[in-house]
Copies of this chain bind each other. A is one copy, B any other.
Amino acid sequence: MTTLAKVAKRAGVSIATVSKVLSNTPYFTEETRQKVMLAVEELGYVPNLAGRALSTGKTHIIALVFPYVYDTIFTDPLVQHILEGVEAESSSQGYNLLLSTPQVSPSGPDDNYLRLLQSGYIEGVVALDNVPTTSVLAPAREKKIPSVAIGYWEHEFSVVSNDHLGGEQIMEHLIELGHRDIGIITVAEDLNYSISQRMEGLRSACTANGIDFDSLPQQEGDFSIESGATCASKLLEQFPDLTAIIGLNDRMALGAMQKARQMGRTIPDDLSIVGYDDIPNAQYSVPPLTTINQQAPELGRIATRMLFDLINGGQPASVILPTELILRESSAQPKLRYQ
């Protein structure tokens, strides 16, 4: 390993000088600079980050945290997009990205994660903080580690998609088309805050239109395609008169669509199906899925920018991203049953 000392020796100067030349401190002759750079070049010197971290406290690492709530976290398109955005921003700043997926329980995140936070290894953390039982950022805030939340936990610095609005939009859309018998595929309340917000959005659209939200049938899935299929089948068996089904994420909606077709329904003629997320596949399903776009890639990008601002002493403003209804062919007016 080439160290500062070796470079210094070769260049015939002190290690302090090498260090200063490399960190672009002013005050040294062009001659010294050249000697040093030549030695650095010849020796292929690369600073040891642990050494630097120990003396400066800066590691140039930020952590990206996804609480581990269900098996397949990385298959969630939201997670992918956040990852993509965070990666892009952090590497553009010359920072490295540490990925952490702590287990969370009502008593808090796991010890490994807690230790990581205090280890001095990371300068800050961006976390998807949407699990109602526990906030993975609470410990970071206690320890005054710069952190930005993507999600609903109360946090000074956060970015979140307006799930309430998205919920309203998708329900409004169905109501406008004339639907009243609407089944809902959701997810267990304690699993995810965004989903609860979407539910609230659905509710307020109903209320605004004089529909009793609580009378609409619901089934709980687990975000997966499979669960969407199962829920759809239960919904349609118990309530054959449903004219529309809302899946609170696209994957469940897609599963529902397949199942409904197997059960003999034509989409959208017999049954409208709408989703939420606007994942790439939503565009390519048969028929293409009406859904809500929540600008997921922006979430990660913005959160990371906020984090760097914070690390540099700024006070970034929190952000709420608007959602947009994406009209495709899986939704239409209900057929008139009694004519």
Given the contacts A54-B54, A84-B74, A100-B96, A119 and B46 also touching, CB distance less than 8 Å:
yes
Asked if A254 and B284 make an inter-chain contact with CB atoms under 8 angstroms apart, the answer reads yes
Asked if A261 and B286 make an inter-chain contact with CB atoms under 8 angstroms apart, the answer reads yes
**Chain A 73-103 against B: per-residue CB contact (8 Å), 1 yes, 0 no?**
1110100110110010001001011111100
Interface size bracket, A side: 35 or more
Is chain A's binding surface mostly helix, strand, loop or mixed? helix
Q: Using Cβ atoms and an 8 Å threshold, which residues of chain B touch A91?
A: 100-101, 112
Asked if A258 and B280 make an inter-chain contact with CB atoms under 8 angstroms apart, the answer reads no
Q: Using Cβ atoms and an 8 Å threshold, which residues of chain B touch A53?
A: 50, 53
A188 at the interface (CB under 8 A from B): no
A276 at the interface (CB under 8 A from B): no
Asked if B225 and A118 make an inter-chain contact with CB atoms under 8 angstroms apart, the answer reads no
A255 at the interface (CB under 8 A from B): yes
Task: Tell me the bound Cα distance from A98 to B281 in angstroms.
Answer: 29
Task: Tell me the bound Cα distance from A53 to B225 in angstroms.
Answer: 44
Task: Taking A46-B114, A99-B99, A258-B284 as given, write out 7 further A-B residue pairs in contact, using a Cβ cutoff of 8 Å, ordered by the A residue number.
Answer: A48-B54, A49-B120, A74-B83, A96-B121, A229-B284, A255-B284, A281-B281
